[in-house]
Structure 1
Amino acid sequence: MTQDLTTISSPDLSVTLSPLGAEMQAITLADGRELLWHGDPAHWSGRAPVLFPIVGRAPDDILSSGGVEAPMKQHGFARRSTFELEEATASLARFVLTDSDESRGVYPFLFRLTLTYRVEGAQLSVLAEVENRDSHDMPFGLGFHPAFAWPLPGAEGEDHHILLRDDAEPALARLTDGYLTDDRLPSPFDKGLLTVTPDLFEADAMIFPEGSGSELLYAAQGGDAPALRFRFENTPNLGIWTKPGAPFLCIEPWHGMAARQGAGPEITERPNTVRLSPGATQRFGYEVNVE
């Protein structure tokens, strides 16, 4: 059954959203050019999933949390859950997911996850708020997984690069069978600049456990393409990923990462797990400015 989509817009861009996973389906410029990957399952059916209550894999896809050990697929269950559309205006949409009998069977906490999308001019903002409605601390990871066109529209055949502020050169980590290794490799950035090439992803995603700073630019060297300038909030880890031969590039700000290689299933042992106090709310987000 097809679920109703919601579209929000400004004079410069529009964003289409699905209640399944509260996931973006399209980011469209006023001239009709598409910025978001279209989800062709021949490569990857995702478009921009939100990751909760874990980012990445759990050992043997089993997670232990709050005394419950249960199956947990990669990146958690929020991406496969139907959210309620709580509010919608011309330029804003807010979706909510709360715990259920099904969720408590694998993740035994009372929670409220709110995702708010807003467009203003050429800016898209994405905000996640996690509320602990339980009587004890709630551990979790939260991440964003948007896939953007590569090449960007209007820059076919051109080199693409990522530029970090302050000439940042963050250390690189890799995954082995989906698990994070403790090794730190030399940064692929040179004075903040990385030219994006397919060979960078032959060993799967590039993970930057210390993040990339507060700002990132994804742009083409030439052509008539828009550039995307990202600003991050409370997402200290970063992943960059594509599948071999696929025409998309995922720029993924996270708070939390995959389980370490050789680790057990306990959620609190996962890198950079958030521990939220009873009654508390924590927010995470990013902005994309189209330039």
Structure 2
Amino acid sequence: MSDTHEIASDRLSATIRAQGGELIALSNADGPALWNGGPEWPRHAPVLFPVVGRLKDDTLIHEGQSHRLTQHGFARDAMFAWVERSPARAVLELRESEATLAAFPFRFLLRMTYEIEAATLTVVTRVENPGDRPLSCGVGAHPAFPWPLAEASGKENHVLVFPQPEPGPGRGVEAGLLVGDIPLPFEGPELRLSEDLFANDAIVIPGAANSSVRFSARNGEGREIKALTVAWEGYKDLGIWSKPTGAPFLCIEPWYGMASDAGWQGEFTEKPGLLTLAPGEGRDLVWRVTLEFVPG
């Protein structure tokens, strides 16, 4: 049985890989719309679970015991099991194992559903608690899109357009951990992109006011020539990231949970911002990407 599966409509195709339960390709008639996993960063759209970002000292503390859990958790490197593979839909699952319990001492079911309709790919991340005690975790999406999105547009001619301004404040990041509040560099509802934005790591927006954003490539005269829209439901925080050293991709990351504050280290279930599920409870978190048609 193949490790990858392709789903498609008449306008869009996507490839999903069992390793990491990850979307690894997305394209339409205009060409690729997902980062190719090149040498600058080997991933495409990793699944972040059971933490988003880093814990201080990469250590999860629960009931007095310390567990080593590295940045963004283990799901992005785990082998998922196929549940469904059909022409327009793929479903994969990851459950706790002896290895995961050593790092994250909670039972869980993590199910990834990828579905294409017309020009939209919808990704549903479902977290269920099959255990007999509460499950606390972070969940995040990390899709990377080509930047520049259009060959005819330089990186500086790209903008993120939100439905409304993000009032902020954002959070600073040092060594993967959150530090003080910072102003967000918005011009009204727009964030004009440049490599300098990421000199200190990601732009982190706790409790984002928006639930969608348009990634727009423009020509030298300011006319849009290519675009895609990322929308989300159930997630509450947002990260925007590219390599601080510069790289030809931009990540738009809906999150539920964030990295630890640099000064915080304590009982994991008391970490601010986590998703907590009662025994038997489940939650769906959704993100979708639509490849927009831009008239010539």
- C-alpha spacing 1:189/1:169, structure 2 compared with 1 (3 Å): farther
Q: Aligned partner of 1:65: which letter?
A: H
2:197 is paired with a residue of what secondary structure?
helix
**Corresponding residue for 2:17?**
18
Instruction: Tell me the CA shift for residue 56 of structure 1.
Output: 0.4
Superposed, 1:7-46 pairs within 5 Å as 7-31=6-30, 33-40=31-38, 42-46=39-43
> Residues 62-120 of structure 1: CA distance to partner in whole angstroms, max 9, x if unpaired?
11235542111100010110001100111100010011111112212221100000110
Q: Which moved more, 1:223-232 or 1:20-29?
A: 223-232
Over the aligned positions, Cα root-mean-square deviation in angstroms equals 1.7
Aligned-partner Cα distance in 1 for 2:262–2:13:
41
Instruction: Tell me the CA shift for residue 217 of structure 1.
Output: 0.8
- Whether 1:231 aligns to 2:231 is yes
Q: Which moved more, 1:96-105 or 1:216-225?
A: 216-225
TM-score after normalising by structure 1: 0.94
**Corresponding residue for 2:168?**
170
2:204 is paired with a residue of what secondary structure?
strand
Aligned-partner Cα distance in 2 for 1:154–1:270:
43
Aligned-partner Cα distance in 2 for 1:217–1:107:
35
Aligned with residue 100 of structure 2, among 88, 100, 103: 103
Q: Structure 1: where are the runs of 5+ without partners?
A: none
- Whether 1:204 aligns to 2:204 is no
Aligned-partner Cα distance in 1 for 2:18–2:266:
30
TM-score after normalising by structure 2: 0.92
1:219 is paired with a residue of what secondary structure?
strand
Q: Which moved more, 1:75-84 or 1:166-175?
A: 166-175
Aligned-partner Cα distance in 2 for 1:114–1:66:
27
Aligned with residue 147 of structure 1, among 137, 144, 147: 144
Aligned-partner Cα distance in 2 for 1:3–1:267:
37
Instruction: Tell me the CA shift for residue 61 of structure 1.
Output: 1.0
Instruction: Tell me the CA shift for residue 212 of structure 1.
Output: 4.2
**Corresponding residue for 1:277?**
278
1:173 is paired with a residue of what secondary structure?
strand
> Residues 153-202 of structure 1: CA distance to partner in whole angstroms, max 9, x if unpaired?
34432600001112333322111111111x22222112111110000011
Q: Structure 2: where are the runs of 5+ without partners?
A: none
Aligned with residue 69 of structure 2, among 72, 77, 87: 72
Q: Which moved more, 1:15-24 or 1:67-76?
A: 67-76
Instruction: Tell me the CA shift for residue 245 of structure 1.
Output: 2.2
Instruction: Tell me the CA shift for residue 3 of structure 1.
Output: 6.2
Aligned-partner Cα distance in 2 for 1:102–1:187:
39
**Corresponding residue for 1:263?**
264
2:181 is paired with a residue of what secondary structure?
coil
Aligned residues between the structures:
287
Instruction: Tell me the CA shift for residue 265 of structure 1.
Output: 4.9
- Whether 1:240 aligns to 2:237 is no
Instruction: Tell me the CA shift for residue 262 of structure 1.
Output: 1.6
Instruction: Tell me the CA shift for residue 124 of structure 1.
Output: 0.7
Superposed, 1:123-138 pairs within 5 Å as 123-138=120-135
- Using the aligned pairs only, state the percent identity: 38
> Residues 195-243 of structure 1: CA distance to partner in whole angstroms, max 9, x if unpaired?
1000001111110112241121111123774311121111110000101
1:47 is paired with a residue of what secondary structure?
coil
Q: Which moved more, 1:65-74 or 1:274-283?
A: 65-74
* 8 Å contact kept, 2:150–2:217: no
* 8 Å contact kept, 1:267–1:273: no
Instruction: Tell me the CA shift for residue 126 of structure 1.
Output: 0.6
Q: Aligned partner of 1:221: which letter?
A: R
**Corresponding residue for 2:215?**
218
Q: Aligned partner of 2:20: which letter?
A: G
* 8 Å contact kept, 2:218–2:226: no
